[in-house]
Amino acid sequence: MIETLRSIELWQNLKRNGILGRKSLGFVPTMGALHEGHLSLVRKSKAENELTLVSIFVNPTQFDQVQDLDKYPRTIEQDQVLLEKAGVDYLLLPDYKSMYPDEYLFKVEEKNLSRDLCGEFRPGHFQGMLTVVLKLLQIADADNAYFGEKDYQQYLLVKKMAQAFFFKTQIVPCPTIRDHDGLALSSRNTLLDKAQRKLATQFPLHLQSKSTPAEITSALVRLGFVVDYITDKETDSGVRRFGAVRLGVVRLIDNVKI
């Protein structure tokens, strides 16, 4: 049965008092509104570790627009049921005051990769993301932490940050999980209306095509998307095509290896 902890101190006490023993620990940090993508991370953690910790915290510092934060789906009761069924051992539910006792005076900044792609279009996003992930990695003190490749830029930044600050925690990438029609699973997909949801399938379809980034951009604009970027980048795993588009107020990101 899952044990829900509503304070950081309770989790730290478990670790400090040796209640977890010497068992290996996997960690899955989330912002809730869980879907199959999150659950795939949980399953990988359970397969590779003796215990699994999941956190749910909607981090306000990584939202560059207040309305995006306000509209972000919150389904905590449903999330708890899914995690219970998945066999998660511990669920951490910290609040803002405990996560930011300094009122966000101290921030983590990366000056290279974070300024490209989404960093260009979402000022402050990666600073907020890296700050909260550093805090969560410190709190969890896990052997392994799991991140989806849908946000590959985020994964790379977290991986490089963990290496730079000598965390023992290994940052483990997990494949993007897609819906039956190819759209990458995202909590924000629930904010799309029926027509937008149908149109959204054109995004991964074009991203995976043999067209050039410029051709894909033109095609998506003609279909009604607002395109932030479509571009090919060399990464640690080879060349990937990255894309970010908007349908109404909903921003969608994706990437594919090419």
Instruction: Please list, in sequence order, all residues whose beta carbon lies within 8 angstroms of the beta carbon of residue 120, skipping any fewer than 6 positions away.
Output: 229
The continuous run of DSSP H or E covering 119 comes out as: helix 118-121
Residues of the chain under the 50 pLDDT cut = none
Q: Round to whole Å and give the CA distance between 178 and 44.
A: 17
Of 35, 38, 125, 206, which one is the catalytic site residue? 38
Active site residue 38: yes
Q: Provide DSSP, 156-187.
A: HHHHHHHHHTT-SSEEEEEPPPB-TTSPBP-G
What sign does the CA torsion over 49, 54, 59, 64 have? positive
pLDDT in the model for residue 119: 97
pLDDT at position 44 is 98
Say which amino acid occupies 160.
K
- Torsion sign across C-alpha atoms 106, 235, 168, 129: positive
What's the pLDDT score for residue 19? 85
User: Which position has the token pair 């043999």?
Assistant: 210
Q: Which amino acid, 202? A: Q
pLDDT tens profile 39-72: 999 999 999 999 999 999 999 999 998 889 999 9
Query: Exposure of 230 by Cβ count < 10 A (0-12 exposed, 13-18 middle, 19+ buried)?
Result: buried
Residue-level pLDDT at 123: 95
Domains and CATH numbers, the chain: 3-174 (3.40.50.620), 187-252 (3.30.1300.10)
